[in-house]
Amino acid sequence: MCEREELGDNDPSEWPYRFGKPADPWSNQRYLYLIDPENGADYTFITSSWGGRDAVTKLARQIAMKRAGVPGAVATVRLEVGFKRSPEYGQVPAPKFEVVGWSGGGSSAPAPARSVRDELDDDIPFVTCDPMAEPYLKRRIVA
């Protein structure tokens, strides 16, 4: 992930105001793409809170671990209310994604072992922190 200073717009006097204070135009966000299994409707859960980012990151890690053994596995999740401890406010509500089932991925047999050479022989996409570059790539987590 880029360092904040690399993104530009570093002068708070030029930032828009939100809630009476200058608001940084850049924010650390997570996007979670969701599909309702009943009707196929799609939704995007977007969060910039530390509790929300943590919840999406934990879910992405859980999916990645499952897919290491079952490539293509898809999680069915339920959004719940969890709690995080804030040093300033105590217990605060935070999103929590509970995996309630898995589908897809074909066989549940473990993926064949790959050699270190094969594992490291992959393409590394070019990612830039220059907002003027085309296209500007953003970190996104897809579940």
Determine how β-strand 90-103 pairs with β-strand 74-86: antiparallel
Distance CA 22, CA 18 (A): 6
Total of domains in the chain = 1
Consecutive 10-residue averages of pLDDT for the chain (143 residues)? 85 91 89 92 93 94 94 94 91 94 73 65 59 46 47
- What local confidence, expressed as pLDDT, does residue 140 receive? 42
Is 32 a member of any domain? yes
What domain range is 90 assigned to?
A: 27-143
- What local confidence, expressed as pLDDT, does residue 119 receive? 66
Is 20 a member of any domain? no
Residue 41 phi/psi, 5° resolution? -65, 140
DSSP code per residue over 47-63: E-SHHHHHHHHHHHHHH
- What local confidence, expressed as pLDDT, does residue 142 receive? 47
Name beta bridge partners: 34.
43
Is 22 a member of any domain? no
Is 85 a member of any domain? yes
* pTM attached to this predicted model: 0.65
Determine how β-strand 21-22 pairs with β-strand 42-47: unpaired
- What local confidence, expressed as pLDDT, does residue 78 receive? 93
Is 53 a member of any domain? yes
Is 105 a member of any domain? yes
Q: Residue 5 in 3-state DSSP?
A: helix
Is 18 a member of any domain? no
